[in-house]
Each structure stands twice: as structure tokens, then as C-alpha cells.
Structure 1
């Protein structure tokens, strides 16, 4: 009998929540089978088993959160007793470990093992809990639908998306109390308390730490983007007949331009380290994170080697990452090893803003929307389209002059966009 532990699936993860069990007690499990969906501080991830056997017992129900290393289930491997702890199972899981459930000996105080041929009943609380996919639960929250009023048509009565979509348009049952705890305050505000999930909790914790512990400064620049917009239209027209999924956005061009500017100024593509008297960790690879507003909160998937990737490749990668973010399917690898972040609110009509650094990175660029402005060119007043962008930098490793040089290089690339795709 062996224990399946809550694994560490990202460098910032300290605990995980069970989103859904894919196997029930008594089910046969083969090595590589998906056992459980775990909600981490960044995404919902499928976890596989390292070993084959029979799922004997579920120790942590759906919706419960436990610390890394806590036993979440027991697997009967047919040995009849707990095996010696292997080096793999004894070691603390790392962010680079495969997305698989880790196995270790049961603790001394563990309950008695369940017989291999027994098929125990699932915990009563778990049996009474609604069975629905993570996507359905998210859509229900967004639509204000009470899942308890829906009969699931999936296996075992599982509520699937088709069940939600079959509801008449405009019908939205009140949200269950477990989702919205509505209370009326003394001043009559009628407040609704929405508990943080793992992702929102991590966003709040990390950005609070960043804003309170990192000495930052900001620098703003602007660029004429008429030629950049014309180039984007030309690229999209050229690839329209071959692959519409590779359609390039203004943000894709900015990702590439930022990648080139970081290559030219590696001191901005860096992180602070407190080792010794303090160190600047200069990163050889240029991995640009793109801030995405997902249903669960802010996530930052990473476009790797943005200084070397073609714009069309960046466009395809970004679209795939944004799609995964909307469905909470991003992997730990897709969310890790970023060296710089871009946050773009231009599509919401925001002209200018500042962003908080995404630790442990040294800087972040906040991009506003394109605006028509009157400018003087060779004595004549003309209308040009301009974009403002603001760099927030860690002043421990990036000085004002370096930030200005980076922004000047970026502006030059944007105003001479052929250099972005050359």
C-alpha cells in the first residue's frame, strides 16, 4: 500500500486544491493514468500515477486544499505492505517534475489499508458533492447558474457543458451559497463575499510582496505606430490564404520588439538576487511573459525566446496560451521561467497605466491603447496614431539611464517596424 502525495507543480506552489477525481476507490489504475485534477496557484492540472494498482482510498475530497506532501489518496499495488521509500518519492517534488502524482510510504498514523479486492464506498461528503467538470463549474459561476438544479447527462451523472448550454437563454438560477456568501452590512451595502481561490490568493500575495518589498521607478515613452499598423495589415493579408490562425496582433509585434530590445540591453532582462551583497542575475534567454486576464484571475504564460521567434510563430503561441488560460489548462512549464512581462490594456481603451513587477523578474512593460493625436511634422499639423508604454523597473538592478536606453531602442523598433520582422 502506498500513498499518493500532493505534488509541487510550480516554484510558487505551497498547497493545492482537489478539482476533480478521475478514478473512484476500487478502480484499477495503470501507470500514466490520470488520477486527479489539481488546482494550483497558477492553473488546474491533470495528475498521473507513477505506479499501477487499485485506488484503495481517497483521503482529500473535491474542493479541499492541503499542503504539498500531504497524502491525498492510497494506491494498493498488490504488495500487501508499504514498500521502501524510493529516492524519487522521498525527494521533495520540484517545478520541473512531470505532471504526475508522487508516491511515498504512508505515515505511521495512517489508517489501516483497504483490502485489494474491496471496493469501499466513497466518503459521504464527496458522494453528495456535485459532479461537474472544472470548465462547467467556471461557466456556472460566470452565468450565475446553480448546478444543483441541473441533471447531468455525462458518465455517472456528471454535469457537462452541453447540460449548461441546454438551459433556456436568460435563465440563471441564484448562485449557490458556497460560491457567493451574501451578507448585509450595517451600512446597508449588501456586500457579497467571494472567497479567493488558489490563483487569486497567489496573485494577491505575490503582488503585495512585490509592491512592498521592491524599490521601483517608472519611465514612460510613446511611439508613432502608423507604420507598425500598416505592416501588421500587410502580414495578415499575406498569410490569410494559408493559415488564418497565425493572424498577427499589435501585441504580438510588441512581444517581438520587446524581445529584440531586451537582447540589446541584457541588463533589463534580469532578476535581483540577495546572495552576498546582492547580485544581478542576467538571463541568457529572452522569455517574455504575457499577462492574461483569465476567469480565475491574472496569469502570465511565457513566450520563450521571443527575440529569435518569427512574429507569426509568436502569434500562434500567444493564441494557444490565451486559449489554455481561458480554460485553465496551462501547464507549469508554460507559466515558468519568464524573464520579463508585458501587460497590455490597450484593447480596453486604456491610454496609459503602470504595472507591478511580476517577481522575480526585474521589469514589466505596461502598454496602452493606440490613439489618434495631432502632431507637428515639418511645419504641418497632421494626425498620427501613437501608443504610450511605461516601464516599471527594479531600481536595485536597473538604473534610470538603462531604462531610458531600453525604451529608446524599443521606440526605434516600433517606428521602424521592418527591423522587427527582419
Structure 2
């Protein structure tokens, strides 16, 4: 690239190539979806191949079906290299509440608009604004129903990020969300006027957490009271090293952060006894009377996540499932015959065409899908096995 022209033309070529590849995927997914009645099963099978979550594959399949049946002109724009999958899905989100007939009307009007629109109109935020106007133009009487339908989909999502930070998002009605933010902002500004040194962003985040956890808002950094598992080697707990700490459902966390969680006055310690040869847990410190409850907790501590290789649902939110069925195959109720499966994969295990093999002792999973692809996974031990370690102390 020797000049501005080369840079611009290369950027244009890459954008068009990406849009056409996205269109290829849309047509592929729509084609295979048309040949099956089990869309969740198809998404489950394609997730490890596309290297995305099952939910993302389901979203792509539904988007592909909508583009081919409800908004074919948007798909044409993708084939022409004018719009990528991100922009198309933004358009689909706005038109989702419409009937098929109204969606196709918006599709036609949008195509006419984009055919003579300046470049800025193609930017997703501007295009969504224009599509929203078209939706209201085509179906003005449905605005109230669309608002109520959107409100019915309100939810809370936990999105784990990097550096031991995660994001908690709430989808709420606009006036409710605005009122929540205004209250947090007002409390944060009052604390700032009273000498608080945290930034307004930090204060708003801490106040939100305090309100959810039932703490006194803004007085100190919020302390969690819900149950999570924190795995720590004894040397990390004693600040000898900062390695080997892992937060259940999240992944590795720095040693100092793990020690802050450990020393929280609301934390409860529990001894986990590990086999030094395999690194896997074999027992828990007994603080409860019912062995079955202890066994379930040990299985969740041992496996940490759903046993399906591409699923990262925390084990504490999973069913404890028999590998050999209890009734049909005389499978015993023991830690050697049980493992955590999220509800989706618990139901999928015995679906036609799916072959699932899980070895709880060694933590290996092999899954063969209806179309013959086999995927394997292996859980990581809590303790580094003695054969791999030098002189590491036992876990805490």
C-alpha cells in the first residue's frame, strides 16, 4: 500500500469480502435449517465447528431464516458487499415484532432508500434509525404492542470479561432504566460532594452492586454474599505465590484478588482434599449431615463446568446427572458415576443420534453428533498432579 488510494481500495475490498462471506453463511444456515425439524440440535452440532456459543448459532440460524424469508433484499445487499452480518442483524432486531407481510414491505422500502443513500446512511446506527421510521410508517398502530413485546423480553445477563472483571446488564423499560440510573447518579454525586475520592463511574457501579446485595450504598466497596467457589492453592492463600487461583464459572484470577475474596468477612472456607497423583478432589471437609448433599457439592467442585466440551455453564447451575442411567443400566449414585450437565445438555444426552461418553474418574468427555463429528474434552485438575509438579504444596 503506497498511497491513500491503496488504503481506501483495500478497506473497501475487505468490507465487501466480509459481507459476501456473511451472506454465504446465511444461505448455508438457512439451507440446512430447512432440512431439519430440530433447530436446537442443529445449533448444538454446529457450535463447536463455528467456534461460537450454542446461543450465538441459534441467533445466526434464526437471522438466516428471517433474511431469506422476510427480508430478502437485505440479503441481496449482503451478497453485493454493501452490508455485513452485524448491520443485517441490527435491522432484523428492529423489524422482529412485525408480521412477515409488514417486514417484507419495510425490506422493499429500505432497499429503495439504500440504493440512493449516501455512505453515512449505511452505518448501522443511522440505518437502524431509518428502519425504525419505516417500521412506524408501515405499522403505526402496532407501536404499543411492539413496546409491550419488548418489555416482555426484559432480562439480566452476566457477561464475563478480562482481568477479573465482568459486566452485569439489565434490559428494562426506558423510563425504569432512566430512573435507576438517575438514582445511582444522584447518590454518587452526593457522596462526591461529601469527600468521596472514587470517580463517579466507580461510585455508580459500587452503588448498583450495594443495592443489589442489600448493603449500605456507597459506604465501601461492595461485598458479595452469594455462594461461589474460589479454588486456591495453600501457597497462594499464604501469599507465597500468586498462581493457581480460579473463580468458579469465570476462570483464573490474580492471587491478590483471590486473597481479597478469601479474606472477605462474608466468605466461608471449605477444605478440599485432592488426590496428589491426579490432582482431582476426592473429598470435602464434612460440615453437613447429609452425605448426598456433600456428594453433589464434591461433583460440582470437581468438574466446575458442564461436562460438554463447548459448554461453560458453571456446575453449580447444572443438574447432577448419572453417566450410566440409574434405573435402566443399574448406574450407581456415586461420584464415579455422576457429573454436572446443564439442563440443555442433560436433555440432549439421550436425543436420537447423539452419543455421549463421560468418564467422571478421569474427567474425559467424548461426544459424537448425529452427522458423525466427534469432539473430546478433558477437565483441568484443581491440583497439579504430583508427576507434573516440583514441590508444590496441596490445595486449600
State whether TM-score is above 0.5: no
Q: Please state which structure has a larger fraction of its residues in helix.
A: 2
TM bucket, shorter chain: under 0.3
For normalisation by structure 1, the TM-score amounts to: 0.23
Structure with higher strand content: 1
